Amino acid sequence: MKGVMRFGRKGKLSTRYISPYEILDRIGLVAYRFVLPPRLSIVHLVFHVSMIRRYVGDDNHKIQPEDVELDENLTYKEGPISILDRQVRQLRSKKVASVQVLWRNHPTEEASWESEADMRDKYPHLFEATDTGAENEAGG
């Protein structure tokens, strides 16, 4: 599922289920409270039945929680790589310039349209090559 954060990872390839944990008690008809290890202290202890599934024991599945390393800061900085396209939209009383930005760690299909003025303020290095090219064309 796109845009859903599960256990510190975002995206459809993130882990759907993690290790089997002991059920502490049943809350109402459709919720259960689990005993989770300290490394998962940021995760809420109560889960709806749609989020859990029965574990079928198998000796090949045994992995100790200590063997799995979980970085609590699984984030990365978003940053623009390049500008793919420009457009100017005519509103009733003004023109709005937009640029299509290709972001780091995202495919070309996920490029977004952003305000050109905002992008020039935040990321002026993206416009240096295009600005000098435009000046050369106008001057010579």
Q: For the segment 57-103, what is each residue's pLDDT rounded down to a tens digit?
A: 777 666 666 656 666 777 667 789 889 999 999 888 999 999 999 98
pLDDT tens track for 7-39:
556 666 666 677 778 888 999 899 989 888 887
The string of pLDDT tens digits covering residues 115-127 is 999 999 988 888 8
Query: Cα–Cα distance between 78 and 26 in angstroms, integer?
Result: 41
Secondary structure letter of residue 84 according to DSSP: E
pLDDT score for 1: 46
| Mean pLDDT, range 37-45, rounded to an integer | 79
User: Please, which pLDDT band fits residue 132 given cuts at 50, 70 and 90?
Assistant: low
- Show the domains of the chain with their CATH numbers: 5-67 (no CATH), 80-139 (2.40.50.40)
84, amino acid identity: L
Closest C-alpha to 55, from 96, 111, 17: 17
Q: Of 92, 99, 133, nearest to 117 (Cα)? A: 99
In this prediction, residue 130 carries a pLDDT of 62
pLDDT of residue 5: 56
Specify the residue for token string 């050369």: 136
Output the CA torsion sign for 108, 111, 116, 121. negative
CB contact at 8 A, 45 and 34: yes
User: Bridge-partner residues for 46, per DSSP?
Assistant: 33
Local structure of 25: helix, strand or coil: strand
| Residue 104 pLDDT > 70 | yes
Residue 36 DSSP label: -
User: How far apart (Å, rounded) are the C-alpha atoms in residues 63 and 97?
Assistant: 54
